[in-house]
Amino acid sequence: MNQTHAELPALSDEHYIHCLPKWLEISLRTLFGVFAMVLLVISSLQWRDMPPGFRWLCGALIAAFIFFSLYSRIWRNNIKFIADQHGLFFPCNDYLVHTVGKNSMHSWLFVPWSNVSNIRVATQKDYDGQSKCVAFNLYISPKERSDYFIHVGIPSDIKQRALNVVPVSYGDYPPNPKKTAAKLIRLKKSADSKDCPGSVADV
């Protein structure tokens, strides 16, 4: 059955973390730092000739670039889910986005492989129209859905939903949706081979 944890439990030796790759995080943070330095140099050379509005704009941009480059907490919120040989771990809504003006609830939802089905590559609607994603169905309660999946996508291939079976999709790239689906299928098969409970029917 599904379980909630105040902290992420210890993972099995073989696991997969679905998040922004470390190399891309380092590249982006470095890029923001370079932007801040370049803009700082340019604005310092032209400061006297700048109108007050441009000075405020340059100051705000420099502060923003430095913030994104140095403030590590915003980069920790890029973990979408974690998989190991026991099942999937999902962060609560407050881990996925920064919430202002409310008490944060930090917890993880564990969904065993027996409550995961139909792992696949699909498409989802986004600001670009349609994009590739990794998708699967979860057997979860309405409360679990509201606490953990408000900010998670829905695959476009679902026409009708069964009770308590929620289709979810993750369209981030990288990582590659096809490779992600293959890793999840391998972990699920590994769990099934160890006499774990059978999965719910595909929907």
Q: Residue 89 has what pLDDT? A: 95
Q: Residue 77 has what pLDDT? A: 58
Q: Residue 97 has what pLDDT? A: 54
Contact (Cβ atoms closer than 8 angstroms) between residue 117 and residue 168: no
Written as six digits, the tokens of 75 are 């980069």
The pTM is what? 0.70
Q: Residue 191 has what pLDDT? A: 82
Cα distances (angstroms) measured from residue 167 to each of 5, 119, 140, 158, 202 = 22, 10, 10, 7, 10
Q: Residue 73 has what pLDDT? A: 66
**How are strands ordered across the β-sheet holding 108-112?**
3-5, 108-112, 87-91, 81-84, 15-18
Q: Residue 190 has what pLDDT? A: 86
Per-residue confidence in pLDDT tens, the chain, 203 aa? 899 998 888 888 889 988 876 767 788 889 999 999 999 999 888 888 888 888 899 999 999 999 888 877 666 657 889 999 999 999 987 766 544 444 455 789 999 999 999 999 999 877 666 788 999 999 999 999 999 998 898 898 877 677 789 999 998 666 789 999 999 999 999 887 765 444 444 44
Q: Residue 173 has what pLDDT? A: 65
Written as six digits, the tokens of 191 are 């769990």
Q: Residue 135 has what pLDDT? A: 95
Q: SS3 sequence, 174-199?
A: CCCHHHHHHHHHHHHHHHHCCCCCCC
Task: Name the residue among 76, 73, 152 with its Cα closest to residue 111.
Answer: 152
Q: Residue 203 has what pLDDT? A: 42
DSSP-assigned beta bridge partners for residue 198: none
State the pairing for strand pair 15-18/3-5.
Answer: unpaired
d(CA 164, CA 137): 10
d(CA 38, CA 41): 5
